[in-house]
Amino acid sequence: MPVVSAPVDATQTPEWAALVDHQKEIAANFTLKKAFADDPDRVSKFSHDMGELHFDFSKNLITEKTLKLLLDLARAVHVEERRDAMLAGEHVNTTEDRAVLHSALRAPKSDRGSLMVDGQDVVGDVHDVLNRMYAFADKVRSGVWTGVTGKKIEHVVSIGIGGSDLGPVMVYEGLKPFANAGIDCTYVSNIDPNDIAEKLRPLDPETTLMIVVSKTFTTLETLTNAREAKAWMLEGLERKGAIDGSDASCADAIKKHFVAVSTALDRVEEFGIDPENAFGFWNWVGGRYSVDSAVGLSLIVAFGREVFEEFLRGFHDVDVYFKETPLENNVPVLMGMINVWYSNFWRTETHAVLPYNQYMHRFPAYLQQLTMESNGKSVRWDGSPVSCDTGEIFWGEPGTNGQHSFYQLIHQGTRMIPADFIAFVNTENPLKDGDQDTHELLLGNFLAQTKALAFGKTADEVRAEGTPEPIVPARCFAGNKPSTSILGTALTPHSLGAFVALYEYIVFVEGTVWGVDSFDQWGVELGKQLAREITVAFHDDEALAEQDASTQALIAFYHEHRA
Ligand code: F6P
């Protein structure tokens, strides 16, 4: 296996220095209003198509020179070489010494045998598991697979957290119009018992299938919730007289009502789930990059094979595009580098993602793990400290709701917040309000926001509307606030897959500039370790005495007020 090269310190390159100077020029001389007035071709120069997605970068604080300098930097830090190393199965996840091959999860079956990594035919293995999942999902969907009392499964509860939850929830919500087998999915993640209690309350154990999803099968939240679910299932079935409480009847019920998804199939068996009902994946799939693996089993049950295959094709088309498109036209590269432009040269801290489609309401939450668990690092992949800010803070909510909440700060606050606005030409629910097409109302808002951000409103324009002088300043909009508009033809399994792959590669490009390992997540470990110790301290004086004063005082408050 070729050794992955040491990261380049981007900040020490001449390309970085050129961008520092260039930012000063742009900050002093550039406005979007002027850029649009001066160049009638600005929009076509800064627009790109990637499959069914259209990208307009023209309302960013960029010129052709900016993009050239950014791509010089991308080349200086070897984005292309690292991309090729990753796609070839090199161990680019250095701190865990692993390959990073989520791209193989969506490779077509004709690619079987084309990628041997650590002695494994990765695409072959992927398709073997996919075929088992499709066969299983078909049985559940058609009613051949039933609960222990012979009733058809109507509810799936997928239990997982982080990457074993956020992707499936986001896609389930995103593709709801494609659900076609009368099977609802519910997702339980939080260790807070309120989560599982509320989610299970309306369900009937006889018609419920649990999918326990955990890459490691050691995660406290997931195993705790899975045990709760098991107890709920067995008690419920016994109360209904469906099982008699004997070991054999319980084992039979678990077999019919529990399946698992994991890379640790031995632990699945220890937990009591039949290995025949387990679907594997591999340590070269990171949790937050796994929605297109067996982690998405609930999606195949809800939507069926064809929809999932189309979803995978959406990813794969972007994989090929990312690999083959020259950097100058490569949308994930351009977006990643424009994000670097704002983060490192304009020192912006956050990045809003604003989908104008209610079905995408969990997309920003999904992106938070993808982006921040990947790139929130302060050492590089060789252990040396980073020398610039890393990891933008991603956040967002669907439009138009956000317009009535936090957009005020984006329009008139003191911080610059680059934003990705996402919308679709076609709606899943065409409605009319009188003669007015409601979807056009939505799209009108989508277009209005980026226009207001870019071009603002001057004091003279405000005065011309008859605004009394004392409140003119409060009603002005400075403009020059950057945004990218992304317009898809429709929210489909294919376009949603493409969106996820797009952001995966944006993360990769940014991570390469910063020199961080975008595929580990050691930052979550300390909290897990301390939680284990502190939980003991609730009822163990010795463990309590070892805690800091604040923790001790908070535990004392807990004991004093516990009902
Ligand atoms: O704690 C963070 C994390 O490790 C995520 O990276 C991961 O997606 C999540 O926990 C769940 O892990 P698992 O799938 O192993 O239960």
Task: Give me ligand 1 centre to Cα 297, in Å.
Answer: 17
Whether the pLDDT of residue 1 is over 70: the answer is no
Q: Could you give the count of Cα atoms lying within 13 Å of 206 in the half-sphere of its Cβ?
A: 10
- Residues 272 and 165 grouped into a single domain: yes
Q: Average model confidence (pLDDT) for the chain?
A: 97
| Catalytic residue flag (residue 206) | no
The answer, yes or no, to whether any atom of ligand 1 lies below 6 A from the CB of 374, is: no
What is the per-residue pLDDT for 5? Answer: 82
pLDDT in tens, 42-95: 999 999 999 999 999 999 999 999 999 999 999 999 999 999 999 999 999 999
- Tell me how many domains the chain contains: 3
Q: Whole domain around residue 530: which residue ranges? A: 522-537+545-558
What pLDDT sits at residue 264? 94
290 in contact with ligand 1, CB cutoff 6 A: no
Q: What is the C-alpha separation between 515 and 533, in angstroms, rounded?
A: 34
What percentage of the chain reaches a pLDDT higher than 90? 98
What's the one-letter identity of residue 329?
A: N
What's the pLDDT band for 27 if we cut at 50, 70, 90? very high
Judge if 499 and 532 occupy the same domain.
no
Pairing of strands 350-355, 419-424: parallel
Residue minimizing CA distance to atom 9 of ligand 1: 162
pLDDT digits (tens, 9 = 90+) for 545-563: 999 999 999 999 999 999 9
162-179 residue pLDDT tens: 999 999 999 999 999 999
Are 339 and 368 in a shared domain?
A: yes
Q: Enter the DSSP assignment of 402.
A: G
Residue 150 CA to ligand 1 centre (angstroms): 34
Does 262 sit in the ligand 1 pocket, CB within 6 Å? no
Of residues 221, 309, 373, 504, which has the active-site annotation?
373
The helix (H) or strand (E) run that includes residue 155 is strand 155-159
Digit-coded pLDDT (tens) for 346-361: 999 999 999 999 999 9
User: Average pLDDT for residues 356-372, to the nearest whole number?
Assistant: 98
pLDDT per residue over 235-283, tens digit each? Answer: 999 999 999 999 999 999 999 999 999 999 999 999 999 999 999 999 9
Over residues 11-35, the mean pLDDT reads 98
Residue 115 lies in a domain: no
Q: Which of 189, 219, 271, 518 to mutate to test the pocket of ligand 1 (most atoms within 8 A of CB)?
A: 219
Q: 329 and 295, same structural domain?
A: no
Q: Is 328 a catalytic residue?
A: no
Residue 3 has pLDDT above 80, yes or no: no
- 22 annotated active-site: no
Written as six digits, the tokens of 293 are 């693996």
pLDDT band at 118 (very low <50, low <70, confident <90, very high): confident
Q: Mark whether 378 and 508 lie in a shared domain.
A: yes
For the entire predicted model, the pTM comes to 0.97
pLDDT digits (tens, 9 = 90+) for 96-115: 999 999 999 999 999 999 99
Question: What's the whole-number mean pLDDT along residues 368-384?
Answer: 98
User: How many Å lie between the centroid of ligand 1 and the Cα of residue 220?
Assistant: 10
State the distance from the centre of ligand 1 to the C-alpha of 516, rounded, in angstroms: 19
Answer yes or no: do 529 and 489 share one domain: no
| 164 and 278 fall within a common domain | yes
For ligand 1, atom 1: residue with the closest CA? 524
SS3 readout for 14-81: HHHHHHHHHHHHHHHHCCHHHHHHHCCCHHHHCEEEECCEEEECCCCCCCHHHHHHHHHHHHHCCHHH
Instruction: Give CA–CA dist 16/514, Å, rounded.
Output: 12
The closest of 98, 134, 293, 306 to 213, measured between CA atoms, is 293
Q: Note whether 278 and 297 are same-domain residues.
A: yes
Count CB-CB contacts under 10 A for residue 107. 22
pLDDT-based confidence at residue 4 (cuts at 50, 70, 90): low
> How many Å lie between the centroid of ligand 1 and the Cα of residue 158?
15
Contact (Cβ atoms closer than 8 angstroms) between residue 504 and residue 439: no
CA of 186 to the centre of ligand 1 (A): 19
Could you tell me whether strands 120-121 and 116-117 are parallel, antiparallel, or unpaired per DSSP bridges? antiparallel
Nearest alpha carbon, ligand 1 atom 10: 162
Contacts of 345 (CB under 8 A, 6+ apart): 19, 20, 22, 23
182 and 241 share one domain = yes
Same domain for 253 and 151?
yes
Catalytic residue (choose from 45, 240, 528, 559): 528
* Residue 445, number of CB atoms within 10 A of its CB: 15
Evaluate: CB of 294 within 6 angstroms of ligand 1: no
Q: Is 222 in the pocket of ligand 1 (CB under 6 A)?
A: yes
The ipTM of this complex is 0.98
Q: Is residue 314 part of a domain?
A: no
Residue type, 293: S
Tens-digit pLDDT profile for residues 525-540: 999 999 999 999 999 9
Q: Is residue 315 part of a domain?
A: no
Q: What is the CA radius of gyration of the chain?
A: 26
Taking alpha carbons only, the member of 357, 505, 535 closest to residue 445 is 357
Measure Cα distances from 73 to 11, 201, 391, 502 in Å.
10, 54, 18, 20
Instruction: Choose the catalytic residue: 276, 324, 404, 465.
Output: 404
pLDDT at 303: 98
**344 lies in some domain:** yes
